[in-house]
Chains A and B, each alone.
Chain A
Amino acid sequence: MTVILNQSFTGISIGAVLLLIALGLTLTFGQMGVINMAHGEFIMAGAYTTYVLQKSISGAGVSLLVALPLAFLVAGAMGALLEWLLIRRLYTRPLDTLLVTWGVSLMLQQLARDIFGAPNVQTRAPDLLTGNISVGGITFANNRLFILGLALLCVLGLTLILRLTPLGRRIRAVVQNRDLAEVSGIATERVDRTTFFIGSGLAGVAGVALTLVGPIGPTMGTNYIVDAFLVVVVGGVAQLKGSVITAFALGVLQSVLEYSTTVSVAKVVVLVAIVAFLQWRPQGLYTLRTRSLA
């Protein structure tokens, strides 16, 4: 029983990482139909921001707290720049955004290699986040709990922004009907850029979280990007709750399968499960009702 519970917690913590990464993607993919392959490199940017901060700020805890907002800004700025330079020219060709941003991601990886070197680097975790808490025989790693809390906080913050602020209303209007939003006087271009800023910024926050569980390297984004996209595909675009449920479901499924088989078999089974799921709901778990034929 404790084995199952422990494994479930591992799954939930994998899910929390996935959720953090997929949250920004849901926003950019959902609103603009942009498939941003460079999202993984924004994660990397967030992770390297933490690394650089630790070099200048001695306290690991303080640097982590400073890194969170700073990584958001760094990755967000990169995202807004990418949107302004390339993506806004490609809104009519969503599939091509995938390929163009892949080219960008290649260049960003090389840039990281040139600046920070090809080998992985490591950050120190604050003392508070290195231990474990044991409750009723189940061991919770503190850093995993922190990531879980961070992911939920991000979901909460994003939900509040989308539901309560004027910006959120504008974003939702553009998602639901871009043309109608445009003729209603919403500056859709500016909304797009802001959305991209927030979505990419969340990738930066995810990058800070990832420094707590693994090494930081130029290819770290590639390791997560496909899984994160699968979360968005299964969750359905434009709905946060779809991503939340899917991220945790995939995380738990992955970890349970890894326990009973091997990592590689688990990957294959998860993929088969996703294809099977799409037979039932081709548009993902939650979809916006539209009148479009597609």
Chain B
Amino acid sequence: MTTTTTPSAKTAPVAQPSASLLERLRVPGAFLLGAVLLIGVAPLALSDFRLNLLAKYLCYAIVAVGVSLAWGRGGLLVLGQGVFFGLGGYAMAMHLKLTDAAATGQTLPDFMQLYGTGDTLPWWWQPFANPLFALAMTVLLPMAVAALLGFFVFRRRVKGAYFAILSQALAAALAIWLVGQQATTGGTNGLTDMRGFFGYDLNDPVNQRMVYFVIAAVLLLLMAAARQLFVSRYGELLVAVRDSEERVRFLGYDPANVKLVAYVVAAGMAGLAGALFVPAVGIISPALIGIVPSIGFVIGAAVGGRASLVGAVLGAIAVAWAQSTLSDAFPAAWTYLQGLLFVLAVGFLPGGLASLASVVRKRRTPTTTTPTPTGGTA
């Protein structure tokens, strides 16, 4: 068992060479189990309605993968992920609205005929009629915005709370801007009533199942990619920047670039999640991307465990599930619970539920010190 070296072991400085087979199969095994549950078991066990809900939660989980990267590993408290989620969602929704309109022989989406000021499509809507352009924009547009803000912010060493507040202000600004442009963005209502999805009818339950499979596959792929990134040299560097930015700078690296990559990749993931959210849920609106939902993206990761990829993803799914089951039945109780979850998880269990086992273990045997990453320094 010692003769076979997996290719990932080479790029993983953290992997112990003497690790047992069981230890080495733990990560791929867990990944396989997750894949079987998501792709194999869930579609058989759940009704169409519940599967659609799960698809929605998985979109939040995709955002959480990025949050785990930027915040958990990089210590960048990203409070504006709603911006990127929204950019991806709107890019997708704009394309779907345009194809819906074209299918019925119209040139303008239905809401523009109601509220619009002119007969012509706004110039910045026009390229989104092209499916390839729209798909590319769902990821590239958020990444470009993140790169622009990140470049200016990180280069001048604006960090910590300042960065968090700026990213949050960006979310507020975008939501307010979208509300203000009623004629071209649908205003408060956002973009709704998508009927077709690249030639398929979205109201057909079979196609909704396909959308679920796409979302589940994207989540699994991104988790695998993030895992590779975490164990790579870059992943080590990112953690180093989080824990001691100055030392990394003295070693000759530029922490600004390291942080920028994490922020931009996380933004791209959020954009992709937003794009997948639109066909699954059928709406994108300012209420889904403002300050409150933006912090909501962080809550799941914080509760599950920001530094642990699986913890962040499961936390996002669990919190989204709890929200939709509890908020309808007991709206008041849910808000208290949400606040309490946040206070307890962040205040008293900074590693999230993922660290519960190691915290308990540490309590029992006080000699072993397993530092729980807090990611609160950068």
- Taking beta carbons and an 8 Å cutoff, which residues of A are in contact with B? 29, 33, 35, 86, 89-90, 93-96, 98-100, 102-107, 109-110, 113-114, 222, 226, 229-230, 233, 262-265, 267-268, 271, 274-276, 278-279, 282, 293-294
Q: A89-B347, A293-B246 are in contact. Are A98 and B161 (CB under 8 A)?
A: yes
Q: Are A98 and B77 in contact (CB under 8 A)?
A: yes
Point out the residue from A90, A94, A230 that lies within 8 Å of B160, measured CB to CB. Answer: A94
CB closest chain-B residue, reference A33: B161
- Minimum CB–CB distance from B169 to chain A (whole Å) comes to 5
Residue B35 interfacial (CB < 8 Å): no
- Minimum CB–CB distance from B146 to chain A (whole Å) comes to 13
Point out the residue from B161, B332, B336 that lies within 8 Å of A94, measured CB to CB. Answer: B161
Return the CB mask of B138-168 against A: 1 if under 8 Å, else 0.
Answer: 0000000000010011011111111011101
Q: Which 9 A-B pairs have the closest CB atoms?
A: A264-B180, A103-B342, A106-B339, A107-B339, A93-B376, A110-B335, A103-B343, A282-B156, A103-B339
Residue B291 interfacial (CB < 8 Å): yes
Q: Are A86 and B347 in contact (CB under 8 A)?
A: yes
CB closest chain-B residue, reference A262: B180
- Minimum CB–CB distance from B355 to chain A (whole Å) comes to 14
Q: Are B177 and A100 in contact (CB under 8 A)?
A: no
The CA-CA distance from A230 to B350 in the complex, in Å, is 27
Total interface residues in chain B, CB < 8 Å: 52
Contacts of B149 in A (CB 8 A): 275
Contacts of A294 in B (CB 8 A): 157, 159, 245-246
Q: Are A107 and B347 in contact (CB under 8 A)?
A: no
- Taking beta carbons and an 8 Å cutoff, which residues of B are in contact with A? 75, 77, 79, 149, 152-153, 155-162, 164-166, 168-170, 172-174, 176-181, 245-246, 291-292, 295, 298, 302, 332, 335-336, 338-343, 346-347, 350, 374-377
Q: Are A106 and B342 in contact (CB under 8 A)?
A: yes
The CA-CA distance from A278 to B160 in the complex, in Å, is 14
13 contacts between A and B (CB under 8 A): A35-B161, A35-B165, A86-B347, A89-B347, A96-B347, A100-B343, A103-B339, A110-B335, A226-B168, A264-B179, A265-B177, A271-B166, A294-B245
Point out the residue from A113, A263, A279 that lies within 8 Å of B180, measured CB to CB. Answer: A263
Q: Are B165 and A233 in contact (CB under 8 A)?
A: yes
Q: Are A99 and B342 in contact (CB under 8 A)?
A: yes
Among A103, A262, A264, A274, find the residue whose CB has the most chain B CB atoms closer than 10 A: A103
The CA-CA distance from A233 to B291 in the complex, in Å, is 18
